[in-house]
Amino acid sequence: MSLELKEVSKQVGGETHIYPTNLVFDSASFNILLGTTGAGKTTLMQIMAGLDKASTGSIFFNGEDVTNIAVQKRNVSMVYQQFINYPNFTVYENIASPLRVANIGEGEIKKRVGDIADLLKLSPMLGRRPSELSGGQQQRIAMARALVKDASLVLLDEPLANLDFKLREELRDELPRLLAERNCVVVYATTEPMEALLFSGHTAAMHEGRVTQFGPSSQVYREPNDLVSARVFSEPPINTTSVLKAGNEIRLSPGISWNVAGELARLKDGPYTFGIRAHHVTIQETGNTPIQVDGTVQITEISGSESVVHFRMNDNNWISQSPGIHPYDVGSTAHFYVDISHGLYFDEHEKTISV
């Protein structure tokens, strides 16, 4: 089945939570709503599910208008950020509950619960209660319950947000496999650009109640329409600074400039915004056309295998992300190399200038 939103908007007490939105999710597709907390992801999902009513616009399942159809009749399932299970039911009963509601025979229930439990590695604990299990297992139960009933629309609202790092990595790995063979529309809300990319599929970048861009995830990531979409799809945040274009030269600051050709060189002279993602600003001299900049280190954040250095350069807070472990002292000065071939240029309306 497919899902379509036409001019859907949501106002609450004079405040707009969702601006008129048009989206088409194809059948058997994985769609990601990407945006920070408060971007409107949850509201939009609740409208899709029928848990909340849109102020304007209509929703179509397979071309059929379901705008006024209650959630119970829409065949949707939902997984939330909190691990929501029936505390007094065993794992088996938890997973079976949507099937019992649908009056499915005992034999069929047993088979389907068994299958989904195998898939989600819950089989050894079917007789236990959710409270005896870890957070990751509890969230798996919630997912099993959502998937067992063959819903045509599966909504997942930041399901991994409350899990420990390693568990998140594990489930992030499993999820696309689980959903791959299903003929349902999956909508997955997340605040993490990395998740959106890893799931491939399509991403709708959201910001303050608007879908700023929708398309294949890797395209939205690599070719953002505007600065807002680029920001939504960058973690660590994308570095920006104003640059001055004169002829075929782009000047960042006195002493730091580079030449451009083609489309960029033909633009009219004047100020532009230059944006570059953190991993193209490295402490190693790599890439095709590195430009050296100096900065004062504010903090080096070290994840297991990467170093993220926050530094100040010409009154801008910039971030560099490099492979390996390289702790710099707070307050020290360091060189960074900007791979400008991956730079993005934005005009005065913050629209991307296509190169």
Partner 1 sequence: MAKITLQDLRHSYTDKPTADDDWALKQLDVEWKDGGAYALLGPSGCGKTTLLNIISGLLTPSHGKVLFGEDDVTHLPPDQRHIAQVFQFPVIYDTMTVYDNLAFPLRNRGVDESRVKQRVTEIAEMTELTPMLNRRASGLTADGKQKISLGRGLVREDVNVIMFDEPLTVIDPHLKSQLRSKLKELHQRVNTTMIYVTHDQTEALTFADQVVVMNFGQVVQIGTPEDLFERPQHTFVGNFIGSPGMNILPCDVDGQNVVVGGVKVEVANKGFVKGDTRKQEIGLRPEFIHFGDQGIPVSVERVSDAGRFKIVETRFQNHTIKLLIDDGENVPADNAHLTFTEDRTYVYGDGWLMEGGQAS
Partner 2 sequence: MNKTINQKAWFFVLPVIALVAFNAIIPLMTVVNYSVQETFGDNTFFWAGVIWFEDILHSERFHDSLMRQLTFTFTILLIEIPLGVIIALAMPRKGFWVPVCLILMSLPLLIPWNVVGAMWNIFALPDIGMLGRMINSLGIDYNFTRQIGDAWFTLILMDVWHWTSLVVLLAYAGLVSIPDAYYQAAKIDGAGSWAIFRFIQLPKMKRVLTIAVLLRFMDSFNIYTEPFVLTGGGPGNSTTLLSIDLVKIALGQFDLGPAAAMSLIYFLVILLLSWVFYTLMMRDEEQ
| Rounded CA separation 344/239 (Å) | 10
Neighbours of 279 (CB within 10 A): 17
Q: Is 39 helix (H, G, I), strand (E, B) or coil?
A: coil
Near partner 2 in 11-30, by CB under 8 A: 12-13, 17
Structure tokens at 273: 């915004």
Q: Residue 330, interface with partner 2 (CB under 8 A)?
A: no
Minimum CB distance to partner 1 smaller for 126 or for 308: 308
Q: Residue 198, interface with partner 1 (CB under 8 A)?
A: yes
| Rounded CA separation 174/275 (Å) | 34
Minimum CB distance to partner 2 smaller for 11 or for 162: 11
Among 236, 239, 221, smallest CA distance to 336 is for 239
Among the candidate windows 69-77, 101-109, 158-166, 241-249, which touches partner 1 by CB under 8 A?
158-166
Near partner 2 in 42-81, by CB under 8 A: 42-43, 46, 52-53
User: 264 with 294: CB under 8 angstroms?
Assistant: no
Structure tokens at 145: 């319950």
| Rounded CA separation 272/285 (Å) | 26
Q: Residue 200, interface with partner 1 (CB under 8 A)?
A: yes
- Among positions 214, 321, 344, 345, the unique one binding partner 1 when judged by CB under 8 A: 321
Structure tokens at 237: 């945040």
Give least dist CB 12 to partner 2, A: 6
Minimum CB distance to partner 2 smaller for 46 or for 282: 46
Q: Left if phi > 0, otherwise alpha if psi is -120 to 50, otherwise beta: which for 223?
A: beta
Q: Residue 262, interface with partner 2 (CB under 8 A)?
A: no
Site for partner 2 (CB under 8 A): how many residues?
9
Minimum CB distance to partner 1 smaller for 126 or for 197: 197
- Name residue 36's beta-bridge partners: none
Give least dist CB 51 to partner 2, A: 9
Give least dist CB 325 to partner 1, A: 5
User: 205 with 233: CB under 8 angstroms?
Assistant: yes
- Is there a cis peptide before residue 236, judged by omega within 30 degrees of 0? yes
Among 256, 230, 225, 262, smallest CA distance to 243 is for 256
CA angle 292, 296, 302 (to 5 degrees): 90
Q: Residue 332, interface with partner 1 (CB under 8 A)?
A: no
Site for partner 1 (CB under 8 A): how many residues?
32
Residue 152 partner contact from partner 1, partner 2, none using kind-dependent CB cut-offs of 5 to 8 Å: none
Q: What is the DSSP letter of 237?
A: P
Q: Residue 36, interface with partner 2 (CB under 8 A)?
A: no
Minimum CB distance to partner 2 smaller for 53 or for 222: 53
Q: Residue 285, interface with partner 1 (CB under 8 A)?
A: no
- Among positions 279, 296, 314, 350, the unique one binding partner 1 when judged by CB under 8 A: 279
Residue 119 partner contact from partner 1, partner 2, none using kind-dependent CB cut-offs of 5 to 8 Å: none
Q: What is the DSSP letter of 353?
A: P
Among 218, 181, 154, 172, smallest CA distance to 25 is for 154
Q: Which residues bind partner 2 (CB under 8 A)?
A: 12-13, 17, 38, 42-43, 46, 52-53
Q: Which residues bind partner 1 (CB under 8 A)?
A: 164-166, 169, 191, 193-194, 197-198, 200, 217-218, 221, 277, 279, 298-305, 310, 321, 323-325, 327, 329-331
